[in-house]
Structure 1
């Protein structure tokens, strides 16, 4: 069991990469469980998080005001490269210490935010494109505390929707999805 952000990010990236590779170009306009994003928008968002949080790991600024289009050329291979760079950035000595960037949040919290995106958005993409996705259990355990702590602020800032109800017996991942405002049983059919 590990609690290093870089180790958790490495596991999450290894599980996310096949989902990203499995997205067919014809699926880029398909809607996702994220009401504001189709598959293209969500892939660009995830790419932007992966790239931006590399800078945050080094204590630098990252601009999230606009999301560029990352889906040019061999973007699937580039996603694998960028997630590798993300893991390396968070494995650097001191990356989890102090505060980072203009967010003025503890670096470990910021790294966990990247982990959340790299765990939840592959599920969004898998659901939208008919793929299977099983997240890393250690990552899910680490994210439960983050979402409980940051959830109210994330909802206020419209990053999360209101929590979705889950039936008794929901898995920890279903509970995590629901706490971010996702219906863990979402399907692409209306």
Structure 2
């Protein structure tokens, strides 16, 4: 079954908000499976992605030149919930999934899958960094799998993904998705 990206984003956001609400202040400096970020930096990155992908849904320019300190601005948990709500609304607007968007003029649905991936994989990163389990909704994983496999070669060339991790037989679909991005789900179990 093919889901609208706005439906998948809504499902992912519901789970992401729960994880972010549970991040304790004293873990903001903890390392994450995404080696270049600690928890604070990853939250800032994720919020910046969410804000910029609202613009991309409206076929407006994005600006990734500098990441603001969203975590240093008041109630960042409420800010995350508000911004992810705006993201879902933006991708629910008529025409958001149609045509192309962004500086690379990519198909809008592919662009939406990028933010969906961030709201799935980086939420797993944050959950693991703070000692909690996270298993995304199977429809989200299903909606991402083909797109992630298609974008993986380019993402590796751009240093967005690391080399794929070999997993033993019996790995579940989400573990395989994480492995495609270069994460070893069993190293952070």
Matching residue of 1:40 = 40
For 1:92 and 1:13, the matched residues in 2 are separated by: 17
Hey, what's the Cα distance between the residues in 2 that align with 1:2 and 1:98?
A: 18
TM-score by length of 1: 0.96
2:12 maps to which residue? 12
Give the drift of 1:64: 1.1
Deviation at 1:25, TM superposition (A): 1.1
Matches of 2:48 and 2:186 in 1, distance apart? 27
Contact 2:178-2:184 within 8 A present in 1 as well: yes
Which blocks of at least 5 consecutive residues in structure 2 are unaligned?
Answer: none
Q: Distance in 2 between matches of 1:143 and 1:13?
A: 14
Structure-1 residue corresponding to 2:139: 138
Once the 2 structures are TM-superposed, how far is the Cα of residue 186 of structure 1 from its aligned partner?
Answer: 2.6
State whether residues 2 and 138 of structure 1, in contact with CA within 8 Å, keep that contact through their aligned partners in structure 2: no
Match of 1:162 in 2: 163
User: What 5-or-longer segments of structure 1 have no aligned partner?
Assistant: none
Shift of 1:17: 0.6
Does structure 1 conserve the Cα–Cα contact (< 8 Å) formed by 2:50 and 2:115?
yes
After TM superposition, the runs of 4+ consecutive aligned structure 1 residues lying more than 4 A away are none
Please say if 1:187 is aligned against 2:188.
Answer: yes
Show the counterpart of 1:101. Answer: 102
Rounded Cα–Cα distance in structure 1 between residues aligned with 2:159 and 2:22? 29
Q: TM-score, normalised by structure 2?
A: 0.97
Query: What is the aligned partner in structure 2 of residue 178 from structure 1?
Result: 179
C-alpha deviation, 1:146, in angstroms: 0.9
Query: Within 1, Cα distance between the matches of 2:59 and 2:109?
Result: 12
Count of aligned pairs between the two proteins: 188
- Residue 90 of structure 1 pairs with residue 86 of structure 2: no
Residues 12 and 136, structure 2, Cα contact 8 Å, conserved in 1:
yes
Contact preservation (8 Å) 2:12, 2:119 = yes
Give the aligned partner of residue 123 of structure 1: 124
